[in-house]
């Protein structure tokens, strides 16, 4: 999406035609709906700039830019080499608090560009211009001041604004980014806010068991912790964690006194001697039935509502899911559930590939330029390929169930650590991920990816480890398949669906 000349756009009166012209100017991939009051506000703003700017009729702005995954919209942004100007447009009576909160939120998102940013709001119905001060207060401003600022901008950015905003940087984890979480340096997406509002409403109406699911990268953990923070303002709450990160949880427990954290095994929770006003469960898909029943007994004893964050993992064969699993949670009496669908960390290409890899019953006609699959005839060849990918910047997520004949905890001499065990990846993310698939992986008659260990009746987490490991990738995935040509053939059928059709 490119910046547009707002003076040229506002010479039109027909909103439908304006939408067509705007799309042509900006190069965006869809039409936006422009309302009459927005048209009038933008026109008045453009006219007010004419007496105070040297070349007001040539000013370009990014207009109505939305960060789709986060549901965050900016009315006008002008980006220069040395500074950024952001202007929000309002038509009628808007409270000062609402204007201030919006500009402060804008400050969070735009600060990642690393330049000074000036924040304004124009209320067209009052012909009033205000700005956000450095101290976070709203102060009255003038168009003369704004005109001088716009005239001073040099090197106006005319490129694609999407290149400047990487939405995955706004998804923080309270577990791996405790400092940012405690400083509240995050914002929830519109979908997260809607779910939070409904959960709090349900609690006020006596709902005792609720939860939300979503694939890795949709922001489940930050939503759970955000709700816990809000409820802890009045009473103490507790959080049961069924994943890794004992050390990080201890750090949070030290610094956040209003929430007590308990690290749990699959079917064992600590004995609790105090009462809590609410119970939160993180990584609920790893919770065993005995642990779930024990938590529900505490809930009844304390009259405390339970809120669960968990992975549904519907693309993984039900026979491979370890722990109590989504079906048992979701079929519990009185359960109210929600689903996060907006992927922030994982891009759509990798997300589609993972669904195809684990459940090949459907086909999606698309290319996968950020997926690479290599083959080794034996483990020696496979480890040579792993070393190649590590040198290319990939994080090797290894499953301790696979005996590779080498100590995976060792880093290359003189290089940063490029290996991590699959059980320690919860809440982490990496730009590139490589994982190893040996000859124990296969597709069953329903075309689910399976593992021979679990099929033989042994309790195995191989498929789950693979799913959670690959889901840690932001941008690129690599697979190294060893001594398993049927699997190699099937994966390449996924990768080359378009070319074979």
Tell me if 265 sits within 8 A of 271, measured CB to CB: no
Tell me if 469 sits within 8 A of 333, measured CB to CB: no
193-209 residue pLDDT tens? 899 999 999 999 999 99
Q: How far is CA 14 from CA 18, 58, 345, in A?
A: 6, 21, 39
Residue 171: the pLDDT is 65
Fold of 171-339: Rossmann fold (3.40.50)
Q: Where in the chain is CATH 3.40.50.300?
A: 171-339
How far apart, in whole angstroms, are the C-alpha atoms of residue 145 and residue 470? 51
Residue 281: the pLDDT is 95
pLDDT band at 411 (very low <50, low <70, confident <90, very high): very low
Residue 29: the pLDDT is 84
Of 2, 345, 377, which Cα lies nearest the Cα of 160? 2
Residue 162: the pLDDT is 85
Residue 427: the pLDDT is 66
The CATH number of 348-500, from 3.40.50, 1.10.8, 2.60.120, 3.30.70, is: 3.40.50
Residue 244: the pLDDT is 64
Residue that has been written with the tokens 């069924």 in this structure: 242
Residue 414: the pLDDT is 43
Mean pLDDT calculated for residue range 343-370: 78
Running DSSP on this structure, what letter comes out for residue 415?
S
- 88-97, 140-149, 248-257: which range is least confident on average? 248-257
Residue 259: the pLDDT is 87
Q: What is the DSSP string of 433-465?
A: EEEEE-TTEEE-TT-BEEEHHHHTT----HHHH
């Amino acid at each position: 999406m490119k910046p547009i000349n707002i003076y040229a756009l506002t010479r039109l009166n027909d909103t439908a035609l304006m939408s067509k012209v705007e799309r042509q100017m900006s190069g965006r991939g869809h039409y936006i709906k422009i309302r009459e009051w927005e048209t009038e506000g933008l026109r008045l703003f453009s006219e007010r700039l004419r007496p105070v700017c040297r070349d007001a009729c040539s000013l370009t702005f990014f207009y109505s830019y939305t960060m789709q995954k986060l549901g965050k919209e900016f009315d006008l942004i002008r980006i220069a080499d040395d500074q950024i100007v952001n202007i929000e447009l309002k038509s009628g009576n808007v409270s000062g608090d609402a204007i201030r909160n919006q500009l402060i939120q804008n400050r969070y998102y735009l600060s990642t560009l690393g330049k000074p940013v000036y924040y304004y709001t124009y209320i067209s119905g009052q012909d009033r211009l205000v700005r956000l001060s450095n101290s976070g207060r709203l102060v009255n401003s003038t168009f003369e001041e704004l005109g001088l600022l716009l005239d001073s901008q040099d090197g106006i950015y005319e490129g694609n604004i999407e290149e400047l905003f990487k939405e995955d940087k706004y998804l923080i984890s309270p577990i791996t980014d405790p400092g940012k979480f405690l400083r509240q340096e995050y914002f929830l997406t519109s979908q997260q806010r809607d779910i939070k509002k409904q959960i709090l409403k349900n609690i006020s109406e006596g709902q005792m068991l609720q939860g939300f699911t979503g694939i890795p990268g949709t922001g489940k953990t930050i939503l759970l912790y955000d709700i816990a923070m809000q409820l802890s303002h009045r009473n103490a709450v507790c959080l049961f964690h069924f994943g890794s990160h004992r050390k990080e949880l201890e750090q949070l427990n030290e610094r956040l006194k209003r929430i007590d954290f308990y690290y749990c095994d699959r079917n064992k929770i600590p004995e609790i001697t105090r009462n809590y006003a609410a119970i939160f469960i993180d990584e609920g898909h790893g919770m065993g039935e005995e642990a779930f029943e024990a938590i529900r007994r505490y809930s009844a004893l304390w009259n405390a509502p339970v809120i669960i964050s968990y992975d549904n993992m519907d693309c993984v064969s039900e026979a491979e899911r370890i722990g109590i699993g989504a079906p048992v949670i979701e079929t519990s009496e009185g359960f109210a559930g929600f689903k996060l669908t907006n992927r922030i960390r994982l891009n759509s290409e990798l997300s589609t590939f993972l669904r195809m890899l684990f459940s090949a019953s459907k086909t999606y006609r698309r290319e996968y330029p950020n997926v690479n699959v290599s083959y080794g005839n034996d483990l020696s060849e496979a480890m040579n390929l792993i070393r190649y990918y590590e040198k290319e910047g990939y994080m090797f997520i290894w499953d301790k169930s696979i005996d590779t004949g080498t100590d995976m905890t060792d880093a290359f001499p003189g290089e940063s650590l490029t290996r991590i065990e699959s059980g320690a990846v919860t809440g982490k993310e990496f730009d590139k991920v490589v994982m190893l698939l040996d000859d124990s992986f296969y597709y069953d008659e329903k075309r689910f990816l399976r593992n021979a260990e679990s099929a033989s009746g042994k309790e195995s987490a191989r498929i789950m480890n693979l799913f959670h490991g690959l889901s840690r990738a932001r941008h690129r995935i690599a697979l190294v398949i060893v001594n398993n040509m049927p699997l190699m053939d099937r994966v390449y059928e996924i990768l080359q669906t378009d070319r074979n059709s």
